[in-house]
Amino acid sequence: MSAHPAPQRDRVSLAALLFGIAAAPLFWLGQMMLGFGVTAYVCYPGDHPLPPPAPGALPGVLIGFDVVALIACAAGGIVSYRSWLLTRSEKAGSDSHALHTGEGRTRFMALWGIIASLWFFAAILFNTIASLTVSPCVI
């Protein structure tokens, strides 16, 4: 009889693992879609584009999307890191090697959540810089 591939699966809930993996990409996607939709509606509501709006609600809304996405991404990374800390010894002798073999499903999912959160945090941060520096309505 072989050992279970995730012997420490009871230490971390599946919901926490899925949140850690999915939060960053979903909020990045939401940031992109909501930002594009709001900007398109404000700048081009009909047949002809409007002149750039006066500074007001649009930059604030876009920054709000960006801040929420960054916070959710960081939360996913923190949950994944905590999950990884709880399960990093899932394979015997693997404490010093974060990327050992594929054994330890729970540990792998937590590590994948950390990596995804870092990459998408960078993507969201670059989108935030773009929304701060580039005019949303250019004619």
Model confidence band, residue 76 (pLDDT cutoffs 50, 70, 90): very high
Mean pLDDT (the chain, rounded): 81
102-135 residue pLDDT tens: 557 788 888 999 999 999 999 999 999 988 888 7
CB 135 within 8 A of CB 49: no
CB 27 within 8 A of CB 124: yes
Task: Give the residue with greater pLDDT, 59 vs 94.
Answer: 59
Average pLDDT over residues 59-68: 88
2-38 residue pLDDT tens: 565 565 666 788 899 999 999 999 999 999 999 888 8
Q: What is the pLDDT of residue 93?
A: 53
Q: What is the pLDDT of residue 122?
A: 96
Task: Give the residue with greater pLDDT, 139 vs 57.
Answer: 57
Long-range pairs for 57-65: beta carbons < 8 A, 24 or more residues apart: 58/136, 59/131, 59/132, 59/136, 62/35, 62/38, 62/131, 62/136, 63/128, 63/131, 63/132, 65/30, 65/31, 65/34, 65/35, 65/38
Q: What is the pLDDT of residue 35?
A: 86
Q: What is the pLDDT of residue 11?
A: 76
| C-alpha torsion 130→135→137→139, nearest 10 | -120
CB 34 within 8 A of CB 124: no
Residue in the block written with tokens 């007001």 = 56
Cα distances (Å, whole numbers) of residue 46 to 39, 41, 50, 62, 135: 13, 8, 9, 21, 19
